[in-house]
Amino acid sequence: MTSPRKVLVAAHERRESEAVLDALARVGLAAERLLALHSGDGPADAPAALAAAAGLVLCGGADVDPRRYGEEPIPEARVSLQAGRDEMEWALVAGARERRLPVWGLCRGMQVVNVYLGGSLWQDMTLQRPGILAHHVSSPLDALLHRAEVSAAGRGTAMGEVLGREPAWVNSRHHQAVRRPAAGLVDVAASPDGIVEAQVLAGGEWWVESVEWHPENLMAMAQQRALAERFLAAVAAWEEST
């Protein structure tokens, strides 16, 4: 019997992937279909993982190296780097793009997708965008800090429809964020202070959806579960098409 294709969950260490694995299981993905890749355990064999994959989730965690979007780290920005994780996730996203595997980006994951496709980030929002709302409260994990307000462009997307069904209150624990959106990405929603909170890739040829918050900690909310369910539906559609 052929082994089921895996949904890859990329992070630096187990504590960053655990809630995501639990959330995917909660919306119906069987445990044997999940494969966590942790850069902290050593270099990952991205080609081998991708060969058996049907989807990719990029978890939250440390910062993307600013040199990947053409900037030097600003000393005052408190940038925390993990070169091995950047390398692993760049290889995974490249492989996912080649095979058109569905990609779901969460917090750092959204930033990775944006930078991979040619966008840039605020290295530190409070330093470079003074006066913004609080965007980093780490406890409790399901603390709702602000709304993600659907943009005019976002109203024409399926994710925008989900986020627009009712006020979308979200948790938040990040100090970096999208500064220049990559070409092809639609900014679906933003916080009231203008920070990009959700993106989708336009065109429909490659399913990519990302959010700047942590829906894996909000699975008690139907609206947040729907985001995970959309990803699993995209995985199922990809499998049916191959």
Q: Which of 12, 38, 107, 197 is catalytic?
A: 107
Q: Residue 213: pLDDT above 70?
A: yes
Q: Residue 51: pLDDT above 70?
A: yes
pLDDT at 3: 80
| Pick among 1.10.260.40, 3.40.50.880, 3.30.200.20, 2.40.37.10: CATH of 6-241 | 3.40.50.880
32 is catalytic: no
Q: Residue 36: pLDDT above 70?
A: yes
How sure is the predictor about 214, in pLDDT bands with cuts at 50, 70 and 90? very high
8 A C-beta contact, residue 124 and residue 74: yes
Angstrom distance (rounded) from CA 8 to CA 108? 16
Per the document, the length of the chain is: 242
214 is catalytic: yes
Q: Residue 1: pLDDT above 70?
A: no
pTM above 0.95, yes or no: yes
208: left (phi over 0), alpha (psi -120 to 50) or beta: beta
135 is catalytic: no
pLDDT digits (tens, 9 = 90+) for 100-111: 999 999 999 999
Angstrom distance (rounded) from CA 239 to CA 120? 32
188-212 b/e (C-beta count within 10 Å ≥ 16 → b): bbbbeeebbbbbbbeeeebbbbbbb
Averaged pLDDT, 119-132 = 96
How sure is the predictor about 35, in pLDDT bands with cuts at 50, 70 and 90? very high
Q: Which of 89, 197, 212, 216 is catalytic?
A: 216
pLDDT digits (tens, 9 = 90+) for 9-30: 999 999 999 999 999 999 999 9
CA quadruple 169, 170, 174, 180: dihedral positive or negative?
negative
